[in-house]
Amino acid sequence: MNESDSERYAGQLEELGYTPTEDPELADVILMNTCCVRETAEDKVLGKIGEFKHLKTRNKDLILAVTGCMAQEWQDRLFKRAPHLDLVIGTHNIHKLIDLIKDKEGQKESHMLATEMEDNIFHAVPTKRFQKFFAWVPIMNGCNKFCTYCIVPYVRGREVSRPLEEIIEEIRNLAKEGYKEITLLGQNVNSYGLDFKDGTDFSALLYAIEDIDGIERVRYMTSHPKDMTFTMIDAIAQCKKVVSHIHLPVQSGSTELLKRMNRGYTTEHYEELVSYIREKMPQAVLTTDIIVGFPGETEAMFQETLDLLRRVRYDMAYTFIYSPRTGTPAATMDNQIPQDEKSRRLKRLADVQNEISLAYNVEMEGKDYEVIVEGPTKNDENHWFGRTRGNKMIIWENDGTSAVGDTIRVHVDKGQTWVLKGHVLKREEDCGRRNEVNAHDEAVSGSQGDMCR
């Protein structure tokens, strides 16, 4: 979501005539878009603000701005901490950047604060897309869940859904511009439309997107088990453009601990959702988030999480050691877990999950998958990568036959814990293989269900 916000900031800056530079020494505007989910993120931002102070000393006309979640949380405290800052812009005020920059250009000595929480935060602003074939599309903002460990509701505000017609218009325009894959963004996409109170929900949005020509894949992040319904699972299964990857954060396998987290569901309900997903989408790739060492987590509770992993068998789990976040209820709870114990539990959790992830990926060896080429890997320009519809990353040696954005077929040679290794299929290899269907992660011509109507 921060990347999406940054695209809208960048678009407004270009509208004002600014061009991007990688060299802070050359910049007339430096905008730091921030996160504050963890306090370590805030520490990094404060350090970066300090690094830029010398630039302000040398160039009095330089505009230094802090935006995003940390700006919303700290507000005018940032000016007190760093008087050399010029602008502090909160999460609901992205659309005001052009006016704020113009005002600042004319008022060199003033600090400008824009952090009021507006009811309507979706405004038409210029957007500079950072990628050519993959696009972020915000569908809602804010969160009403108030999980006891999370700062997001306090800095993003209450849930506000974007009108369905606006979302569809943006996606149609993206398709015309050649974008192949979109990702729908929201703190909790499963609650999309509930604030409209007219029957519009996430399922209705997916069905509407299905009819847009040109878009090959629809992803979304992130789901919340409390608001996920069987109807939504049906829509995901039926819409061919919606990918077969479902990220459903569970956080803990202990119902008692889930209650302390204020997650709003039980382990039993969560597993009912998983069972329905497996029934409707046997090929689904299921991933999750898990927190270890939450206050009050006993060894028995942690064991329940390990047991859940073994029952559900996720393709991948994003695992985190709980760290207290100032301003959240969990930070002041009794029975905080010692750091060394949290680290031991994380290691035990990873050992179980890595074994499951490796087994799934080994099963994919010898099969062919359709991927959209994303480009070279971070550390080796000779090896390129793309993702299956189930969001599995495949890496291959670049032979110069494909370009970024191409939709190609790749044969998996080796399954590893985190990635797959393979090679691009030549046309002659491709012949006669169009009807292969992988029972786990949908192969090239496998169907996710009937076309939505």
Q: Residues 195-206: pLDDT tens digits?
A: 999 999 999 999
Per-residue pLDDT, 70: 95
| Structure-model confidence comparison of residues 206 and 379, the more confident one | 206
For the ranges 81-90, 113-122, 248-257, which has the lowest average pLDDT? 113-122
Rounded CA-CA distance 371/253 in Å is 33
The three-state secondary structure class of 196 is: helix
Whether the pLDDT of residue 76 is over 70: the answer is yes
Task: State the Cα–Cα distance between residues 36 and 441, nearest whole angstrom.
Answer: 35
409 touches 427 (CB < 8 A): no
Q: What is the DSSP letter of 433?
A: -
> What are the distances in angstroms from CA 75 to CA 30, 78, 89, 248?
18, 6, 8, 33
Of 354, 337, 253, nearest to 297 by C-alpha is 337
- Residues contacting residue 17 through CB under 8 Å, at least 6 positions apart: none
Angle ∠(423,425,429) on CA atoms, nearest 5: 135
Rounded to an integer, the average pLDDT of 94-120 is 89
Is residue 439 pLDDT above 70, yes or no?
Answer: no
β-bridge mates for residue 33, sequence order:
67
DSSP structure string for 358-380: HHHHHHTTT-EEEEEEEEE-SS-
Cα distances from 306 to residues 231, 257, 303, in angstroms, run: 29, 14, 5
At 427 the pLDDT is: 65
Q: Tell me whether residue 36 is annotated as binding.
A: no
* CATH 3.40.50.12160 residue spans of the chain: 1-114
**Single-letter residue type at 151:** I
Whether the pLDDT of residue 95 is over 70: the answer is yes
Residue 40: the pLDDT is 87
CATH 2.40.50.140 residue ranges for the chain: 365-429
Q: How far apart are the first and last CA of the chain?
A: 30
Q: What is the pTM of this model?
A: 0.91
Ligand-binding site membership of 69 (annotated): no
Fold of the domain spanning 365-429: OB fold (Dihydrolipoamide Acetyltransferase, E2P) (2.40.50)
Tell me how crowded residue 81 is: count the other CB atoms within 10 A of its CB: 12
Which of 351, 368, 331 minimizes the C-alpha distance to 445?
A: 368
CATH homologous superfamily for 134-363? Answer: tm_1862 like domain (3.80.30.20)
Q: Is the pLDDT of residue 446 over 80?
A: no
Mean pLDDT, residues 143-163 taken together: 95
Instruction: State pLDDT tens for residues 167-197.
Output: 999 999 999 999 999 999 999 999 999 999 9
170 to 176, 203, 205, 225, 236: CA distances (angstroms): 10, 18, 13, 28, 21
Query: What is the location of CATH 3.80.30.20 in the chain?
Result: 134-363
Task: Please give the pLDDT value at position 433.
Answer: 52
Around 208, how many Cα atoms within 13 Å sit in the side-chain half-sphere? 16
pLDDT digits (tens, 9 = 90+) for 322-349: 999 999 999 999 999 999 999 999 999 9
Which tokens in the block code for residue 36?
Answer: 């504050």
Would the annotation count 150 as a binding residue?
A: yes
Q: What is the DSSP string of 240-260?
A: TTB-SEEE---B-S-HHHHHH
CB 327 within 8 A of CB 73: yes
CATH topology of domain 1-114: Rossmann fold (3.40.50)
Q: Is the pLDDT of residue 209 over 60?
A: yes
